Amino acid sequence: MATTLSFSSCLPDSGASTLYTTAFHTTAFHTSHMTLQFLENNWPLILIMIVSGAMLVWPLVQGRFSTVREVGALEATALINRRNAVIIDVREPKEYEGGRIPNAVHLPRSQLASRSHELKKWIARPVIAYCARGQRSRMAAGALTKLGFAEVYTLRGGLRAWSEAGLPVEKGA
């Protein structure tokens, strides 16, 4: 039983080539038209996607260019012991009474601008700002750099991280 193979159907002829080229261009046009139509119909969702992506990337970009650095509890103790860093508690009075880092200066973030004159004597020393969990201290650190402090740090995780590291916390007024 003999089988014959024909290769003539595999070779392109000029008519098939033209038909393929025309089909390709029509498909490419149709695809780009569909893409534009999709973008027009879904621009609010695309805008939300771009904004949320930018919000995710912003902290990384901001951290690279910020003069404020974040330190952990052990790094903070090294700054305190070796460089005589000033610790500033930016929490509100009720929180401060509940416990604080020993020798911390209490200066609530809400009073930072009005009491900035109290800080001028420490302007040459490194400053470590902290709050309960580290959120408010970042804002306070920005204000401290505007006041002229060159070396400003925030305590990563705030007082919570400090106490979880087993470091001393003073209680009472």
Residues marked as catalytic: 131
Taking the C-alpha atoms of 107, 108, 111 and 113 in order, what is their torsion angle to the nearest 10 degrees?
A: 70
Q: Cβ(165)–Cβ(159) under 8 Å?
A: no
CA 120/CA 148 separation, integer angstroms: 9
CA 5/CA 84 separation, integer angstroms: 90
Q: Cβ(144)–Cβ(152) under 8 Å?
A: yes
Residues contacting 25, CB < 8 A, separation 6+: none
Which residue is it, tokens 């402090």?
Answer: 149
